[in-house]
């Protein structure tokens, strides 16, 4: 259990020091989420949000915080709620996406940093679920400290592929998520 004064300090740092989100288009920092919106996400997820993640959304901002393309807002278009619902209804069998695993940070190219009910950060890479060494607190603390979280969760390898249009070799990257399979995965 983390001391609440440590949580308060980290939340204050997120409010004061968080760099602007790296997004596809300029976005202003948004107001915190309402209790009603948080409750709606918790109902959809089948249980409460991780307590620290809940405080981030309620006390700092409803999205726009953290690595990748920043945290999604909880509700609305392109939100945690809409993405979670889409993931739960997609796949070979509806409901294949684990209950309570919330897609929070989008990295692009079907790679997500999600939060499970225990507050662990889980990488979803093309549908494979990998447990990272981070929880929500350590994840956001590392981000504030300038840690390259992509390099912490993903192992890139250079590869040469054949460009399908020019038929010439092209240098690209491919890779895999670092960590061990998420224990809650049914895949």
Q: Which residues pair with residue 181 across a beta bridge?
A: 130
Claim: this prediction has a pTM higher than 0.85: no
What pLDDT score was predicted for residue 92?
53
The beta-strand segments (E) located in 27-168 are 102-108, 111-115, 120-125, 128-135, 154-162
Residue 161 in this model has a pLDDT that exceeds 50: yes
What pLDDT score was predicted for residue 27?
52
Residue 23 in this model has a pLDDT that exceeds 60: no
Confidence of residue 21 (pLDDT cuts 50, 70, 90): low
- pLDDT tens profile 101-145: 999 999 988 899 999 999 999 999 877 899 999 999 999 999 999
For residues 167-182, average pLDDT: 77
Q: What are the residue ranges spanned by the domains of the chain?
A: 4-181
Q: What angle do CA 46, 56, 31 make, to 5 degrees?
A: 105
Tokens encoding 160: 């040469």
Residue 26 in this model has a pLDDT that exceeds 60: no
The span from the CA of 101 to the CA of 122, in Å, is 8
Residue 173 in this model has a pLDDT that exceeds 80: no
Q: Which of 26, 105, 32 is nearest to 68 (CA)?
A: 105
Sequence-distant (6+) residues with CB within 8 A of 147 are none
The span from the CA of 43 to the CA of 137, in Å, is 23
Determine the topology of domain 4-181 in CATH.
SMI1/KNR4-like (3.40.1580)
Tokens encoding 169: 């070799």
What pLDDT score was predicted for residue 187?
47
The span from the CA of 116 to the CA of 136, in Å, is 10
- pLDDT tens profile 51-104: 999 999 999 999 999 999 999 999 999 999 999 999 998 765 555 899 999 999
């Amino acid at each position: 259990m983390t001391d609440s004064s440590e949580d308060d300090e980290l939340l204050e740092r997120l409010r004061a020091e968080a760099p602007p989100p790296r997004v596809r288009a300029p976005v202003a920092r948004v107001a915190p989420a309402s209790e009603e919106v948080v409750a709606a996400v918790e109902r959809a997820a089948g249980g409460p949000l991780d307590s620290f993640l809940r405080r981030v959304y309620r006390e700092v901002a409803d999205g726009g915080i953290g690595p990748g393309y920043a945290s999604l807002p909880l509700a609305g278009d392109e939100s945690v709620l809409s993405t979670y619902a889409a993931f739960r209804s997609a796949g070979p069998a509806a409901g294949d996406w684990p209950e309570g695993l919330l897609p929070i940070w989008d990295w692009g190219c079907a790679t997500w940093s999600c939060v499970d009910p225990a507050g662990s950060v889980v990488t979803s890479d093309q549908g494979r679920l990998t447990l990272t060494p981070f929880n929500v607190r350590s994840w956001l603390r590392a981000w504030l400290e300038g840690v390259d979280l992509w390099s912490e969760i993903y192992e890139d390898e250079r590869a040469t592929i054949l460009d399908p249009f020019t038929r010439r070799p092209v240098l690209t990257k491919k890779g895999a998520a670092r960590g061990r399979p998420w224990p809650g995965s049914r895949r």
